[in-house]
Structure 1
């Protein structure tokens, strides 16, 4: 029996997560001995099913259901093109190995070598604003162009936008799941997951095949996202957000933490502002991130890819007013002198052109609107 087989068997026992696994390794020095000489004091703390599994293994060893499951899991991985990466393998990610009690085993679909690239994690709200999604895509694209792999969690919102931004520049991107790599979550991102693998990235998880996306899995997923990365960039997040957990784990792992500031009226900016107050680096451009992490980044250019239609005086005036932050209808009507009907029609037209977006109680510029405003100022 090799170390990988013994580790898979240990982790199959209910109640043995990474923390207890590493306690056993510290005591026995190797997983084979830990499995064969499992301490009775710990065994009695495990659920009844795990106790029965181990006692059957102690009697039957190779013929036990526990090792039978390991053999079947190897076969399932081979059949579905999933690779197993053991923590003692030479190509196990070096930064991830440094964190406290790293995942003993990673399941991987895609290019194994992508995990050795310098990585920046980009995380944020699932219900991000249009400006937040724009920022996630543009920061990811520019950092990918600078040579970083972009790591995130394949969730809706900021995560998906970050993966898309990296793919847009033909960069590598890594998705870390809170489910098995054969149980993609959310289903809406299945096509995106396929693109990640096809274009030289990877999808990874520490969970066995068939594992569902349960709430308890996501903090474990988040520690891998931050552990793989040189730094974590928070794009948008409410005060109670899983993305803040990722950022705090990054601080505990001695990683750099960056946050993009936003309007004081935007609830999705409050998590970023909270982190900045706690010591995260405030960033305005991808160059701020790349410079601190040692990457080489060309001077960023405004991300305006569509042919711009010249704005009239009223539209330009609105852009300039919103450049200072979100404004409500009453403020805009007072400052422009427009009637409510004319103003709403103008705002709708500019929203359709992607220059601004509506928030609860007001409007703010999108990144395209901000770049256009800068360009024409």
Structure 2
């Protein structure tokens, strides 16, 4: 394990490691949780890459698993360099510190702008795209006051509340979490705002490849970044089925504070925020409501525990034999379409935890496993 000073400063990836990490996360069926488990089990991305075909086969896949090539990874790194961006790994100094401790945090983030924003505690501000005049005005006031108090403001670059929060915190520091690649802002009309962010005192982050046009299913992933980077999330004007409520739910699951601004019961844009208040969100009418609640959290040393995804050393890893066909059969029979906790799977099957995690990796790489928030898993439909 690194000493405290190394952990405080972070540990930089070598060029070779960065290429291997990018290859692994861009390969078929490898998401952040699978990446973490592969690194923890095999000790390095290079070792994990060599095992992907075998693990996929053992998981029941009859198709060849696509593994990103060295050339593909090098081209993406070069694209980022030409764009003025960089890829930052989870244990490196510029990686947002609160995001490190998120369940299944992205192993690599593409970043463009001023990384000093990541050294500040962050507050998320999200809300309606079709915001009212009073809603955008309040979002701007809140972002300005909280930014002046020493926080960065993180939001999703959307119309309405998000854009107002970003603009008001351009001088103090703002982070735009993006659903597509850094070169594919959504909505397109906010491209000028994005350029103001990374040319000013702000930062744009994404876990998606360059050239990736955001799809509907990518926005919850973006919302997860907002919830993970922030110590708390403020919701302003969110309808009953708003994406902002997804951000609030993800924030609560990650142990972040959730704030909500009360609104008129006659305004459908406030139905979601009022529901959050009924369910325990912190009533927010001034910036002091946010700052007072977050003050104890912002004093915590973010490096007081090791960064997530830090692989064990060779001596710390123990040899785990390949699971038997009977082990695999027992685990698959225990799973179904309903998400369950892995600890429950271990208790039900009476298999060793290491064996369970390895079989889950095999199923995941074969496309037979679904991972859910909170570390839950389920068997893919049809299995």
Same fold by TM (over 0.5)? Answer: yes
Alpha-carbon distance, 1:197 to partner: 1.0
Task: Determine the C-alpha separation between the residues in 2 that align with 1:48 and 1:19.
Answer: 23
Give 1:144's match in structure 2, choosing from 147, 150, 159.
147
Task: Determine the C-alpha separation between the residues in 1 that align with 2:179 and 2:206.
Answer: 7
- Who is 2:25 aligned against? 11
Task: Determine if contact 2:122/2:231 at 8 Å carries over to the other structure.
Answer: yes
Q: 1:49 to 1:283 in 2, by over 3 A?
A: same
Alpha-carbon distance, 1:144 to partner: 1.2
Q: 1:73 to 1:48 in 2, by over 3 A?
A: farther
Task: Determine the C-alpha separation between the residues in 2 that align with 1:188 and 1:267.
Answer: 25
Does residue 128 in structure 1 map to residue 142 in structure 2? no
Mean CA deviation greater in 184-193 or 32-41:
32-41
- Corresponding residue SS for 2:78: helix
Give 1:154's match in structure 2, choosing from 157, 169, 172.
157
Q: 1:9 to 1:44 in 2, by over 3 A?
A: farther
Task: Map 1:300-319; keep pairs closer than 5 Å.
Answer: none
Does residue 34 in structure 1 map to residue 48 in structure 2? yes
Alpha-carbon distance, 1:44 to partner: 6.9
- Corresponding residue SS for 2:258: strand
> Where do 5+ consecutive residues of structure 1 fail to align?
55-64, 296-377
4+ aligned runs moved over 4 Å, structure 1: 43-50
Root mean square deviation of aligned Cα: 1.9
Task: Determine the C-alpha separation between the residues in 2 that align with 1:280 and 1:162.
Answer: 20
- Who is 2:174 aligned against? 173
> Where do 5+ consecutive residues of structure 2 fail to align?
1-14, 297-383
Alpha-carbon distance, 1:50 to partner: 6.1
Task: Determine the C-alpha separation between the residues in 2 that align with 1:49 and 1:186.
Answer: 37
Task: Determine the C-alpha separation between the residues in 1 that align with 2:61 and 2:183.
Answer: 27
Task: Determine the C-alpha separation between the residues in 1 that align with 2:58 and 2:108.
Answer: 25
- Who is 1:357 aligned against? none
Task: Determine the C-alpha separation between the residues in 2 that align with 1:255 and 1:102.
Answer: 15
- Corresponding residue SS for 2:165: helix
- Who is 2:329 aligned against? none
Does residue 91 in structure 1 map to residue 105 in structure 2? no
Task: Determine the C-alpha separation between the residues in 1 that align with 2:94 and 2:111.
Answer: 13
Q: 1:145 to 1:126 in 2, by over 3 A?
A: same
Task: Determine the C-alpha separation between the residues in 2 that align with 1:43 and 1:16.
Answer: 15
Q: 1:128 to 1:43 in 2, by over 3 A?
A: farther
Q: 1:121 to 1:46 in 2, by over 3 A?
A: farther
- Who is 1:255 aligned against? 256
Task: Map 1:327-346; keep pairs closer than 5 Å.
Answer: none
C-alpha distance after superposition, 1:28-70 (max 9, x if no partner): 132121112225243576988862x34xxxxxxxxxx711101
Task: Determine the C-alpha separation between the residues in 2 that align with 1:259 and 1:292.
Answer: 13
Task: Determine the C-alpha separation between the residues in 1 that align with 2:279 and 2:64.
Answer: 42
- Who is 1:23 aligned against? 37
Does residue 68 in structure 1 map to residue 93 in structure 2? no
Mean CA deviation greater in 117-126 or 140-149:
140-149
- Who is 1:274 aligned against? 275
Q: 1:10 to 1:44 in 2, by over 3 A?
A: farther
Task: Determine if contact 1:14/1:47 at 8 Å carries over to the other structure.
Answer: no
Q: Which has the higher contact order (CA 8 A, sep 6+)?
A: 2
Q: 1:49 to 1:186 in 2, by over 3 A?
A: farther
Task: Determine if contact 2:97/2:118 at 8 Å carries over to the other structure.
Answer: no
Task: Determine the C-alpha separation between the residues in 2 that align with 1:36 and 1:122.
Answer: 42
Does residue 288 in structure 1 map to residue 289 in structure 2? yes
- Who is 1:224 aligned against? 225
- TM-score with structure 1 length normalisation? 0.71
- Who is 1:184 aligned against? 185
Task: Determine the C-alpha separation between the residues in 1 that align with 2:63 and 2:123.
Answer: 40
Alpha-carbon distance, 1:226 to partner: 0.8
Max Rg structure: 1
Alpha-carbon distance, 1:78 to partner: 1.2
